[in-house]
Structure 1
Amino acid sequence: MRSVLAVLAAALLFGTTGTSQALGPDGTTPLSIGVMRMVIGGTALALVAFALARRHARTRTGAGPALTARPVALMILTGVCLAVYQPLFFLGTERNGVAVSTVIALGSAPVLAGLLEWALTRRLPSRVWIAATALATLGVVLLGVGGSSGGGTDPIGIIGAVGAGASFAVIANVQRRLLDDGWDAFTVVGSMGASSAALCLLALPFVDVSWLGDPGGLAMALWLGLATIAVAYILFTWGLQGLSAATAATLTLGEPLTAALLGITVLGEHLSLLAVIGLVVLGTGLALLAWGSRSARDPAPFAIEA
């Protein structure tokens, strides 16, 4: 159950992203915010995670897995996926609007994660996962349709949003494979943070980040980097140890639930009856998944001493 709560807490932090951007200063762009979020968050994630990994290494008995080309490539792959997630998502929002792209990206991620896990392990997701994912995905669709006033279906935008969902699905599955191979969770997530920060540093000279001079802009960047990247992904990876990749991806559908509630309470947005029904359906799906994930994952992953 602690694994479920950790991933749900990560989803809650993920869900504050849109509200944080809305409360930020003028002059920001999605690309500049995304780059700074990754530079700050990826760097902090690497520093904290590697420190925790060293602490765990001192208490762990026996030799760890060998550092070969395969795990290094997989860790870098998670960083690449984390870095490309945002421009793909922003491409979708530019073409089809925020509501439609959010539905496509977040709704596709758990389905793609489950399919990818099945392709890699030949282990079919549980019936509870199928039912909970169906409910949660339906809730996201109702929330998106009920909360939007329209939206296009530009094919390039759809590809971008699905690509964002696929990026997250790959992260969840690759991290799950590395954990199954015996790698320390904090080493895995630290490598992801370092790789994503390094890639976004290359893009930094090409974006306008003058808004960082505004106190509100600096506060927004720090929150997005430290809370929604560093803390959130440490929680997500820690929780992933006790869950399948498909289950973890479905639990992150708590993100649109959080975003919608913040929109109502903080930004003063109003939801239609259909969107409210979507919130209830989404919450029911997440509750069902949490109830069905009470038992330990089989095979049980190694324990982390934090």
Structure 2
Amino acid sequence: MYRGLVYVFIAATAWGTGGAAAALLYRDNGLGPVAVSFWRFVLGAAALAGALAAARLTAGRRPARLARPAGRRWTLVVTGAGLAVYQTAYFAAVEQAGLAVATVVTLGAGPALIAAGGRLLLDERLGRGGAAAVALALAGLALLGADGGGGGPRPLLGIALALLSAAGYAAVTLLTRGAPAGDPARTALSGFAVGAVCLLGPAVAEGLWPAGDLRAAAGWLAYLGVVPTALAYGLFFAGLARIRATTASVVALVEPVTAALIGVLALGERLGAVALLGMAVLLAAVAALAVAERRTATSTPVRSRVTVGG
């Protein structure tokens, strides 16, 4: 159980670094949100494929082929499409409504949608402690966003895109949590491949190739593909095998905390007292979910459910 919490925590921390890399690509290399998401998926798939090939060579044999339950291919298609929707919609929401609003709406609506879906579809019961932790997390996000400043040219459109992103995130989390057990790396690889196919046409229409310093652009794109994509999603899917979907969605709220710290330390942004309080409340919610998950794990065994790729 604790390993699952650690996996999701590391994944969310890695995700929090991706926004800064994407912002630099927008500013310095003229790429839009769809193109950044496309390259992120392509390079993430390449990184995972390389890692799996290296694992096979190290093992010195071909891994045993896993059985394919009926409907798995459709599960992989829906997972990949959901990844494409929620990542691209979030990046677009940042452009239209600003970083603070997009982050608060997406990551605030996500746990609520996942809690509802987990109760209806997976029979995951939060309990009073879990429900209180979700409410605490939403309060922390509201505080963090209230002091975020910024804004965008079309805030209503941005909010709609952020809600679409939250819906895609919830769908991927619930689908992965409810699927048969398997290899999380292959799950992520399959999802990235499907997501890249979904985004290819829109990315070409938006402008696929970066401008400016191509070496710097290649470096940031490679970072996006390896750390907040291949590594983070592999760990996230592995974590979902061990903890409840709602718990994972709340632990993942360390992402905006990470992004805010990067903004202060690396990008010269300032955080007021309200935002700092919001960060503290968010971290308290993550700690409360860890306690609630431990109590649930001791009373009800958690069955492993991770989508199998390949």
- TM-score range (shorter-chain normalised) is 0.7 to 0.9
> Counterpart in 2 of 1:67?
69
Check the 8 A contact 1:13/1:228 in 2, yes or no.
yes
Q: Do structure 1's residue 211 and structure 2's residue 211 form an aligned pair?
A: yes
Q: Quote the offset at 1:264 in angstroms.
A: 1.0
The 1:94–1:262 alpha-carbon spacing in structure 2 relative to 1, beyond 3 Å, is: closer
The 1:110–1:290 alpha-carbon spacing in structure 2 relative to 1, beyond 3 Å, is: same
Which 5+ residue runs of structure 1 have no aligned equivalent?
none
Q: Deviations over 1:245-292 (max 9, x none)?
A: 111111110100100111111112111111111111111111111233
Separation of aligned partners in 1, 2:62 and 2:215: 41
The 1:66–1:222 alpha-carbon spacing in structure 2 relative to 1, beyond 3 Å, is: closer
Separation of aligned partners in 2, 1:252 and 1:96: 22
Matches within 5 A, 1:285-296: 285-294=285-294, 296=297
Check the 8 A contact 2:102/2:162 in 1, yes or no.
yes
Check the 8 A contact 1:38/1:200 in 2, yes or no.
no
TM score, norm. by length of structure 1: 0.86
Residue type at the aligned position of 1:165 = A
> Counterpart in 1 of 2:181?
182
The 1:64–1:225 alpha-carbon spacing in structure 2 relative to 1, beyond 3 Å, is: closer
Secondary structure, counterpart of 2:13 in structure 1: helix
Bigger shift: residues 214-223 or 141-150: 141-150
> Counterpart in 2 of 1:279?
279
Structure 1: 4+ residue segments shifted above 4 A: 49-55, 57-60, 149-154
- RMSD, aligned CA: 2.8
The 1:50–1:22 alpha-carbon spacing in structure 2 relative to 1, beyond 3 Å, is: same
Residue type at the aligned position of 2:30 = G
Q: Deviations over 1:83-133 (max 9, x none)?
A: 112332233233322211110001111111111111112332233321211
Check the 8 A contact 2:242/2:302 in 1, yes or no.
no
Check the 8 A contact 2:240/2:305 in 1, yes or no.
no
Q: Deviations over 1:150-189 (max 9, x none)?
A: 56884432221011011111111111111xx333333322
Separation of aligned partners in 2, 1:192 and 1:7: 18
**Corresponding pairs, count:** 297
Separation of aligned partners in 2, 1:51 and 1:72: 25
Q: Quote the offset at 1:239 in angstroms.
A: 1.0
Which 5+ residue runs of structure 2 have no aligned equivalent?
none
Secondary structure, counterpart of 2:211 in structure 1: helix
Bigger shift: residues 38-47 or 117-126: 38-47
Separation of aligned partners in 1, 2:23 and 2:89: 20
Q: Quote the offset at 1:221 in angstroms.
A: 0.3
Separation of aligned partners in 1, 2:41 and 2:66: 29
> Counterpart in 2 of 1:193?
192
Q: Quote the offset at 1:59 in angstroms.
A: 7.6
Separation of aligned partners in 2, 1:26 and 1:202: 20
> Counterpart in 2 of 1:237?
237
> Counterpart in 1 of 2:97?
96
Check the 8 A contact 1:7/1:248 in 2, yes or no.
yes
Check the 8 A contact 2:99/2:150 in 1, yes or no.
no
Q: Do structure 1's residue 38 and structure 2's residue 41 form an aligned pair?
A: yes
Q: Quote the offset at 1:49 in angstroms.
A: 5.5
TM score, norm. by length of structure 2: 0.85
